Amino acid sequence: MYSTLFSCGCFKVPVLLSENRLIIQQVANALDHLKTIGMIHADLKLDNVMLVDHQHQPYRVKVIDFGLAEDVSATRLGSCIQTRPYRSPEILLGLPYTEAIDMWSLGVMAASMYLGTFLYPGRSEFDMIRSLKSDTPADRVLEMWDKEDFLDMLKGMLQLDAAERLTPCQVLEHPFITMSDLTGRIPYTS
């Protein structure tokens, strides 16, 4: 038996940014691999990210359940893919889509793990579209944050325009993941 990020409670209790970083990095690596082989996962969510061995390897994860995965060249308008809270704007609106839908889902996952609640809740697609139009991640989350790099990465993954959304490779190189912005901020002795 295995645990997923959802079943272990990563959704109900906010996850520390350091733990969130480890999870995002591993999932972005998986999405980068899928992109190189021309595949879309199409159902990325907390339930489809498995904790491998939380006792001995905390926060080591694997992406699972490729039942809705499809080749980028075989996408179909009107496809019933992505679980509603993770659904990208292009899927909600029935527009053409690419592997960028997986990056949207990863952004929703990251925000949800940090907040302990869905970023864009809704009981219907209409509710979600209304929420997308009226809220930005900064509006929903940042009152309590001083985590500029995390917010910047979230904004990049949650761009309404799929062409502007961060790619898996860009997420892996982002200062939140690499922690490159910390260089020079942390005093050290030689």
CATH code at position 11? 1.10.510.10
Predicted confidence at residue 115, as pLDDT, reads: 84
Q: Please, are residues 122 and 116 in contact by the beta-carbon 8 Å criterion?
A: no
Q: Please, are residues 28 and 109 in contact by the beta-carbon 8 Å criterion?
A: no
Q: Which residues of the chain have pLDDT under 70?
A: 1-2, 6-12, 135-146, 181-190
Q: Is 164 inside a domain boundary? A: yes
Predicted confidence at residue 182, as pLDDT, reads: 62
Predicted confidence at residue 158, as pLDDT, reads: 94
Q: Is 184 inside a domain boundary? A: no
Predicted confidence at residue 56, as pLDDT, reads: 86
Tokens in use for 110? 């990251």
Predicted confidence at residue 12, as pLDDT, reads: 63
Q: Identity (one letter) of the amino acid at 151? A: L
Q: Which of 63, 78, 68 is nearest to 33 (CA)?
A: 63
Cα–Cα dist 171/34, whole Å? 14
Q: Catalytic: 139? A: no
Q: Please, are residues 88 and 104 in contact by the beta-carbon 8 Å criterion?
A: yes
Cα–Cα dist 103/97, whole Å? 12
Give phi and psi for 62, each to the nearest 5. Answer: -135, 140
Domain span holding position 8: 3-175
Predicted confidence at residue 137, as pLDDT, reads: 58
Cα–Cα dist 102/87, whole Å? 9
Q: Is 182 inside a domain boundary? A: no
Q: Is 163 inside a domain boundary? A: yes
Q: Is 74 inside a domain boundary? A: yes
Predicted confidence at residue 80, as pLDDT, reads: 84
Q: What is the dihedral of CA 7, 9, 10, 12, to 10 degrees?
A: 120
Number of domains observed in the structure of the chain: 1
Predicted confidence at residue 142, as pLDDT, reads: 45
Give phi and psi for 167, each to the nearest 5. Answer: -90, 165
Predicted confidence at residue 185, as pLDDT, reads: 52
Q: Is 21 inside a domain boundary? A: yes
Q: Is 181 inside a domain boundary? A: no
Q: Is 189 inside a domain boundary? A: no
Among 32, 43, 53, 161, the active-site one is 43
